[in-house]
Structure 1
Amino acid sequence: MTAHAIDPRRTGLLIVDLQNDFVHPDGAYARGNQKSADIAALPDRVLPVADALRQKGGWIISTQFTLVPGKGGEPFISPHLRQIRPFLTKGDFAPGSWGHSLVDELQPADLSVEKVAYSAFYMTRLEWVLRKAGIETLMVCGIVTNGGVASTVRDAHVRDFSTFVLSDGCAAFLTETHERAIADLSTVAKTLTCGEAAAMFSGA
C-alpha cells in the first residue's frame, strides 16, 4: 500500500495496553515475575510510527486495561485472570494510577479508552470516539498479540475499519504464540512492520 492510499488525518495508531503495570520494570507484572524482552522492546519500536503519524495530523489512541476498584479500593478481577495472575492486587491497573498509564515513551495519546476485557471495543466508548474523530483506518500494536490485540483487530474488522497490524509492534510472552496470532490475523487485517508504517507516513 502506498503512502497516498490512506489519509493520515483519518488514521489512528491504536496502542493496546502498553501500560506501566504491564511493561515497566517497576510495574505489577514485573513484580509478579511476568517479564518478556519482546514486550519490553515494543515502546521504542512503535515510537517512530507514532512520531511520523503525529507529524501528519493523525491520531494516537491508547487503550488501558483497567481493574475497576470496588469497595475499599479492592479491584474486580475476573476468575480466569485471578487464576493465571494471582499477584494482582489493590492499586494495580487502577484508573488514574501510574501503573494504569500509557508508558512515557509513547505519550501523549490524543484519545484514551479504559477497557475491562480483551477487546478494546467491548463495553467501551472506543467506537464512538473513533467515529467522532473521523478515523477510518487503524494501525494496531501492543500486547498481547493473541489476546488484546487479536480481539481488538477482529472487532475493528467487523465494524468496517480499514485495519492494519504492526507485526513487530506487537508481542506475546512466547514468540511462537505471537507468530501464530499474526498469521491468523492476516485473514482480517493487513500486516506491515513498524519501519514500513513509519516510512509510509514520512512520505505522505
Structure 2
Amino acid sequence: MSEKHVVMVIDMQNGVFATPRRQRQECAAKINRLMAAADRVIFIQHIEDGGLEEGSEGFALLSELEQPADALYVTKTACDAFYQTRLEQVLAENSIKNFVICGCATDYCVDTTLKIGASKGYGITVAEDAHTTANRPAAQAETLIAHYNEVWRTLTVPGNPVSVKPVETIVAQWQAN
C-alpha cells in the first residue's frame, strides 16, 4: 500500500482571522484543494482566552473550509502543535510519518510546528501557497510568506530536509501515486 497523503491544517479559525490575514479566500481555497486530494486531514485548533475558548465561535474553523467527516482534531495552547498536546499520539495511532502543512500564521504556529516536527523526524512538505499571516510592524504579510518559504527551503535538518511546493504540484504528485 502506498503512503497516506496527509494534510495538517493549522489555526484556520474565526478568532485567528479576527485580525485580517493576507488572501484569506485564496488560502482557504488552496487548503480545500489539498484536503480534497488527501487521504487524511488533521485540523490543529488553538485554545486561548480572549476569543479562542474551546467551543466558542472564535474557536470554530472558518466556514469556507470543507471539513471531511473523518478528519482528526487536535487542540493546542502554544505556537508549537506538538507542545503538551496529543498530536504525536494521533500521528502514531494513524501511522503518519509524513504530512503536508498549511494554515495560519506563517510566522508563528506554522513555522514553529514545522521546525519542531522536522526535528522530531517527521517528513514535512510545506504547501507554499496555502499558508497566510497578517501584516506585522516589521514586515508585510506578503514579504513574511515569501521569507518563510525561503527559510524552510534551506532549513538544515540533516537527513530530513523540508520540502516546499505549490499546492498543484503536491496534488499532482499524489495523483501520480
For the aligned pair, the TM-score class normalised by the smaller chain equals 0.7 to 0.9
Give 2:35's match in structure 1, choosing from 42, 50, 57: 50
Q: Which runs of 5+ in 2 are unaligned?
A: 135-140, 156-160
Partner of 2:124: 163
Q: Which aligned pairs between 1:17-36 and structure 2 lie closer than 5 A?
A: 17-23=11-17, 29=18, 34-36=19-21
1:130 matched to 2:73? The reply is: no
Residue 169 of structure 1: SS of its match in structure 2? Answer: strand
Partner of 2:138: none
| Structure with greater proportional helix content | 1
Residue 41 of structure 1: SS of its match in structure 2? Answer: helix
- The one-letter code matched in structure 2 to 1:154 is K
Q: Which runs of 5+ in 1 are unaligned?
A: 24-28, 68-74, 76-88
Partner of 1:83: none
- The one-letter code matched in structure 2 to 1:150 is D
Following TM superposition, by how much is the alpha carbon of 1:199 offset from its aligned partner in structure 2, in angstroms?
A: 1.5
Which range is displaced more, 117-126 or 98-107? 98-107
Following TM superposition, by how much is the alpha carbon of 1:19 offset from its aligned partner in structure 2, in angstroms?
A: 1.1
Q: What TM-score do you get using the length of structure 2 for normalisation?
A: 0.85
Give 1:65's match in structure 2, choosing from 32, 46, 53: 46
Contact 1:39 1:143 in 2 (8 A): no
Following TM superposition, by how much is the alpha carbon of 1:125 offset from its aligned partner in structure 2, in angstroms?
A: 0.6
Q: Distance in 2 between matches of 1:36 and 1:155?
A: 24
- The one-letter code matched in structure 1 to 2:67 is Q
Partner of 1:172: 133
Query: In structure 2, do the counterparts of structure 1 residues 171 and 132 end up closer, same or farther at CA, with 3 Å as the change threshold?
Result: same
**Percent of paired sites with the same residue:** 21
Q: Distance in 2 between matches of 1:164 and 1:37?
A: 21
Instruction: Provide the aligned C-alpha RMSD in A.
Output: 1.8
Residue 20 of structure 1: SS of its match in structure 2? Answer: coil
Contact 1:43 1:106 in 2 (8 A): no
Q: What TM-score do you get using the length of structure 1 for normalisation?
A: 0.74
Residue 82 of structure 2: SS of its match in structure 1? Answer: coil
Highest Rg: 1 or 2?
1
Partner of 1:195: 168
Following TM superposition, by how much is the alpha carbon of 1:101 offset from its aligned partner in structure 2, in angstroms?
A: 2.0
Q: Deviations over 1:2-44 (max 9, x none)?
A: xx9x61x2x3200010112223xxxxx1xxxx21342342111
Partner of 1:79: none
Residue 15 of structure 2: SS of its match in structure 1? Answer: helix
1:16 matched to 2:1? The reply is: no
Partner of 2:67: 107
